Amino acid sequence: MMWAHAWSTILADGPVQLGRPIFEFFTPLMEIIFYSLAAISTLVFCVGIFLKVRKYLRGKPAMRFDHLPGRVGRAVRLAAQNATVARGDRYAGVAHFLIMWGFITLFVGTVVLALDYDLIRPINASWQFYRGDFYYGYKLILDTLGTALLTGLLAMMVRRWFLRPPQLNYRRVDRPERSYDRRPWKVGDALFVVGLLVIGLSGFFLEGSRIAHDQPASHIWSPVGSAVSQFYGWLGLSQEQLAITHSVIWWFHVSLALTFVAYVPFSKAVHLLADFANLIFRDEKAGVTLPAMPEEPAPAHPGYREIRDFTWKHLLDLDACTKCGRCHAACPAQVSGAPLSPRDLILDLRDHADEQLAFKGWLSQRDLSGGEKQNGALPDARPVAGGVIKAETLWACTTCRACVEACPVGIEHVPIIVEMRRSLLDEGEMDPRLQEALTNLGKYGNSFGVSDRLRAKWTKSLPFKIKDARKEPVEYLWFVGDFASYDQRVQEITRTVAKVFRQVGLDFGILYEGERNAGNDVRRVGEEGLFQLLAEQNMKALGKASFKTIVTTDPHSLNALRNDYRQLGGNYEVIHYTELLCRLIESGKLQFGQPLGYTVTYHDPCYLGRYNRVFDAPREIMRALGLQVTEMGRCRENSFCCGAGGGRIWMSENNTGERPSVNRIREAVALGKVDYFVVACPKDVTMYTDAVKTSGHEGQIVVKDIIELVYEALDAQPAVAVSSSTAENT
């Protein structure tokens, strides 16, 4: 009946005049109360945001305003598509998409209503647009998106409280149970989702009570509100009772909504703003290269010693964290029982920053006359590096960048950790083994503590001489790297690389004793001065050589040469040997005969894959070799670190759980029949060969560098097509 009445009214009167009364059943006093509450709520919101911005302004400068329109456009696109949240977790992605768009639509709808009622109508009543076709469309859209909001919130609740994915486990890895309290986190999470759910539900009950009372012709444009109005019909309330019910729900709904607005800056809800800002200002290559230490004005100490050393962007990072736990689940240190969770690290820093630089810090820095205390001391004098965040936590990081990759809101864990390591190193707080490695690197240019004159000793047993690129021009300068040069277990593979290069007719040479450690991991343990020294020595040697392209087998050297050296003026074309072989295959200069036919799995090295996005070249080579590749679940950008990066290979192991390399081998073995665990990094050869032994999987899987399989294929079919131009040179 109600629906038939609605259509007949619309058809008789025409839709243009229809809208809905605002402040129905309101006395003038009630309107004054509402506007006063709205003003208070807005004021609290603004004060909260002011304190946040003030906190960021107390950070050190960071250059993040370059290409601002492009940054904003990219952030809008990522946020609108919900792309970063949906990546890797479709369930959370869909639920978040519904919540985000539902919330934005309801918010915009409220602003539009306020605009019409509070701005347009007082100026000229005939200009009001909240009626007719606009009103119908508005109602339909808000009803639909309001339903989406509720659906998304319910899905998130089911996930958090029933499905309980491991990343939402709030257990700390660095402290015993019961020595910390996670109730504030849990209460904050519940308040956020339940609060929004109650606001959304009460909105529908409010709309239903109005429709039940007014019986408006336009109710068909509010399908959910109309359905809820049936509930009131079922209760059999009189018109007067419906009016009272409407008023009660209105005040309940509006009070909650205004409380939510005031609560935003002080709660998890601040991520609505902080995350968008963080996506605008994020460095997409965070950690790939690191900020150089400022020379002018020279800092009092290197790195992040106290919270005031953080840049404003890294302070913003701390507020952007939503506790989604993706970084926590992806972190190899956490998995191996080391006292590091990137999520907890960020949130511990956030608590500390709030205590020091936000409202509490501001209060404790004031004397009663309102001036700032003279010494400007912060309330908690503990250093962040080694105090708020323990030294063993910072040293546990492999700088694998899995956390940065997983984080949906652009938080830059790796640069923050390295900055704190810089401070630790300056204080001399480090593992004695690391100290020894750094001493060797300073003295000999390698971490093995072997004379630099022996760097090219591995070439002695080759049946041919490799060109000295310092003395004669070459097309490819092969930067060999420490591990490939000095580690006896890897040297045979290094010779295999040389043989393959020779066999395919590559014009290549090496720097012999002119090469030094590239400094990638030296930089990532925080030894910036030594990194610069090594880089300068290498750049000097490279300056003496004549070459077109640098090729390396070592992804760590690749990263330093390709990305870090650029900061020092070293602009080279640097490629990994898998990229080079792939180019030769694509150009037809490298061909294989019979397919090898093995079943293999491939491990993406962090510094090749996540850092330098080389995912396809090794796979193309394996395809050309005729290998059956079975991928592990954690592959490509989600690859799992071997545990050696970020200088960890120079430190003692004191983790309580399974080593990352063992965890990885177990993952490979669980695939079923796999002949070879294929790697493309010299460190991986030793890490995984050891892991196969210690995990008791000898005989089940064998670690092979991809070059060994290339060599096997070439050996089986020596008649390889050779690059004519390069063959003449060798």
Task: Select the residue interacting with ligand SF4 from 324, 358, 574, 681 (CB under 6 A).
Answer: 324
Which helix (H) or strand (E) segment holds residue 216: the answer is: none
Residue by residue, DSSP assigns 534-584 as: HHHHHHHHHHHS--SEEEES-HHHHHIIIIIHHHTT----EEEHHHHHHHH
Q: Does 389 bind ligand SF4 (CB under 6 A)?
A: no
Contact region for ligand SF4 (CB under 6 A) — 89-97, 229-237, 246-254, 320-328?
320-328
Contacts of 544 (CB under 8 A, 6+ apart): 470, 514
Task: Give the residue with the Cβ less far from ligand SF4, 219 or 401.
Answer: 401
The CA distance from 660 to 335, in Å, is 7
CB of 507 to ligand SF4, least distance (A): 38
Q: Does 687 bind ligand SF4 (CB under 6 A)?
A: no
Q: Does 400 bind ligand SF4 (CB under 6 A)?
A: yes
Task: Select the residue interacting with ligand SF4 from 217, 269, 277, 321 (CB under 6 A).
Answer: 321
Inter-residue contact 705 to 622 (CB < 8 Å): no
Query: Tokens at residue 470, please?
Result: 């310092």
Q: Within its chain, how far is the Cα of 167 from the centroid?
A: 14
Task: Give the residue with the Cβ less far from ligand SF4, 139 or 326.
Answer: 326
CB of 422 to ligand SF4, least distance (A): 15
Q: Does 330 bind ligand SF4 (CB under 6 A)?
A: yes
CB of 542 to ligand SF4, least distance (A): 29
Q: Does 642 bind ligand SF4 (CB under 6 A)?
A: no
Task: Select the residue interacting with ligand SF4 from 211, 277, 407, 600 (CB under 6 A).
Answer: 407
Count of chain residues binding ligand SF4 (CB under 6 A)? 28
CB of 634 to ligand SF4, least distance (A): 12
CB of 328 to ligand SF4, least distance (A): 6
CB of 391 to ligand SF4, least distance (A): 15
Between 264 and 303, how does the x/- string for binding to ligand SF4 read (CB under 6 A)?
A: ----------------------------------------
Query: Tokens at residue 117, please?
Result: 């009622």
Contact region for ligand SF4 (CB under 6 A) — 328-336, 504-512, 527-535, 697-705?
328-336
Q: Does 343 bind ligand SF4 (CB under 6 A)?
A: yes
Q: Does 322 bind ligand SF4 (CB under 6 A)?
A: yes
Task: Select the residue interacting with ligand SF4 from 269, 409, 437, 644 (CB under 6 A).
Answer: 409
Inter-residue contact 278 to 320 (CB < 8 Å): yes
Inter-residue contact 447 to 484 (CB < 8 Å): no
Contact region for ligand SF4 (CB under 6 A) — 335-343, 364-372, 456-464, 607-615?
335-343
**Half-sphere CA count of 621, side-chain side, radius 13 A:** 30
Inter-residue contact 482 to 448 (CB < 8 Å): yes
The residue ranges of DSSP E strands in 407-505, in sequence order, are 467-468, 476-479
Q: Is 130 left (phi over 0), alpha (psi -120 to 50) or beta?
A: beta
Q: Does 411 bind ligand SF4 (CB under 6 A)?
A: yes
Phi and psi torsions of 645, nearest 5°: -75, 175
Q: Does 44 bind ligand SF4 (CB under 6 A)?
A: no
The CA distance from 714 to 706, in Å, is 13
- CA trace torsion 298, 299, 303, 309 (10° rounding): -140
Task: Select the residue interacting with ligand SF4 from 199, 384, 403, 625 (CB under 6 A).
Answer: 403
Task: Select the residue interacting with ligand SF4 from 398, 538, 661, 726 (CB under 6 A).
Answer: 398
Task: Give the residue with the Cβ less far from ligand SF4, 135 or 170.
Answer: 170
The CA distance from 40 to 46, in Å, is 10
Task: Give the residue with the Cβ less far from ligand SF4, 44 or 333.
Answer: 333
Bridging pattern class, strands 476-479 and 508-510: parallel
Inter-residue contact 505 to 476 (CB < 8 Å): no
CB of 221 to ligand SF4, least distance (A): 38
Task: Select the residue interacting with ligand SF4 from 288, 397, 493, 710 (CB under 6 A).
Answer: 397
Q: Does 424 bind ligand SF4 (CB under 6 A)?
A: no
The CA distance from 454 to 436, in Å, is 19
The CA distance from 346 to 264, in Å, is 20
Q: Does 326 bind ligand SF4 (CB under 6 A)?
A: yes
- CA trace torsion 490, 494, 499, 504 (10° rounding): 120
Inter-residue contact 535 to 544 (CB < 8 Å): no
Q: Does 253 bind ligand SF4 (CB under 6 A)?
A: no
Residue 65 burial (CB count, 10 A): 9
Q: Does 212 bind ligand SF4 (CB under 6 A)?
A: no
Task: Give the residue with the Cβ less far from ligand SF4, 397 or 550.
Answer: 397
Does the CA dihedral 558-561-564-567 come out positive or negative?
negative
Q: Does 79 bind ligand SF4 (CB under 6 A)?
A: no
Q: Does 346 bind ligand SF4 (CB under 6 A)?
A: yes
CB of 397 to ligand SF4, least distance (A): 3
Q: Does 358 bind ligand SF4 (CB under 6 A)?
A: no
Task: Give the residue with the Cβ less far from ligand SF4, 307 or 397.
Answer: 397
Which residues make up the interface to ligand SF4 (CB under 6 A)?
321-327, 330-333, 340, 342-343, 346, 397-403, 406-407, 409, 411, 413-414
